Structure 1
């Protein structure tokens, strides 16, 4: 009579549960990162001319930060990778300045859902032709700016201080974001020593940087 080989003993239940927990601890971190998404993307220039400045910042930030191109330019037809830390979140604002000085912006872009952002496509060119009154207010003075006001010439009041509880240190700039189409605006700043300075009836649609010294 042939003897049958007995089946191998089953591992203890506690050992099985321990292995399952170990696998979960190895898999879950990657799964969480995937769920959060990667906000990095590739910026593509199809505008027909070079791009000379590129700024990318989280939508909740009031500063554009540094020009990512620095002393370089992004030639027509070229692309550049935009590396963004996952902790910066998915909603990003992007601003480019073309060689002819015309700026173009994309606001509140969910860059976790895209791999490329193209500037200069048919839709982008049409959008770029719309009047864009937003600009950068640059402090090239020797002291901080403590208050910034910008209002349409049609308004009777200056409105709220755009710096709030912050100040604008020397060498920094503030991204002043205005609704499209309202180009003629008044600007007022107050320096840290209390001295005020105003610029009246500015066509901010033709501005990239407004410098105070």
Structure 2
């Protein structure tokens, strides 16, 4: 009887504390993006930290001038997000915040102090400029912006380290990239040398091999 009571008490305690913890991780992650820099924010990306890509530009056709703000509306659910802004122009300096609990704040400010030229995140400063010990190649942040300057919609994007034997998942998921659109492809930090493959709405694919993605900000399609 005593053991049964102890077990019931433990179960109730687990439910109480577990339920509280679960609620703390869900809610409304929408926030007010505040530009405290002396630059214009032209692009803003916000995606759950568990996602593998940045998704669409949350500003759309809007920009956020210096000293102004913009409400980023996000779906209720996950709270832990990564946020990225791009200043000045397409492919300009970028600044990121990682693993932010957006449900616990109403605004997120960027001052431009950690912005890196060419859209490279702060971590990229530490990456080696040549092959790593053991011939593993350079490492850093291979994320890039896909710029569609063609007349066809990009239906699929595959990007995998050049050492891999398969393409892996479609990096767009359920999204597509229409002509004239820009889409941020988010890749995990690590190897820089990638093979990339784009598939258009005509079914025609294009590929490029052994690209050092840590040294580029934008990949423009159709590939030249």
Q: Under a length normalisation based on structure 2, what TM-score does the superposition of the two structures give? A: 0.58
Radius of gyration: which is bigger? 1
Q: What is the alpha-carbon distance in structure 1 between the residues aligned to residue 144 and residue 156 of structure 2?
A: 17
Matched, 1:157 2:165: yes
Give yes or no for the alignment of 1:82 onto 2:91: no
Q: Is the 8 A contact 1:51 1:96 kept in 2?
A: no
Provide the residue aligned with 1:95 in structure 2: 84
For residues 37-56 of structure 1, the aligned pairs below 5 Å read 37-47=27-37, 49-56=38-45
Q: CA deviation at 1:103?
A: 2.0
2:39 and 2:65 in contact (8 A); partners too = yes
Distance 1:85 1:212, change over 3 A: closer
Q: Which deviations, in whole Å up to 9, do the C-alpha atoms of 1:110-154 show, x marking residues without a partner?
A: 2111233233477x469942223212223343333343221233x
Aligned to 1:106: 97
1:31 alignment counterpart: none
Query: Given that residues 103 and 208 in structure 1 are in contact (C-alpha distance below 8 angstroms), is that contact kept between their aligned partners in structure 2?
Result: no
Match of 1:129 among 122, 142, 145: 122
Contact 1:135 1:177 in 2 (8 A): yes
Q: CA deviation at 1:80?
A: 0.9
Alignment partner of 1:193 out of 185, 202, 206: 202
The answer as to whether partners of 2:142 and 2:187 remain within 8 angstroms in 1 is yes
Match for residue 207 of structure 1? 216
Which runs of no fewer than 5 residues in structure 1 stay unpaired? 1-34
Change beyond 3 A, Cα 1:61–1:92: same
- Cα-Cα RMSD: 3.8
Name stretches of at least 5 consecutive residues in structure 2 with no aligned partner: 1-24, 125-140
- Bigger shift: residues 141-150 or 164-173: 164-173
User: Quick one: distance in 2 between partners of 1:46 and 1:144?
Assistant: 36
2:109 is aligned with 1:118: yes
Contact residue 40 and residue 63 of structure 2 kept, 8 A: no
Residue 59 (structure 2) pairs with residue 68 (structure 1): yes
Count of paired positions: 176
* 1:133-148 pair list within 5 angstroms: 133-148=142-157
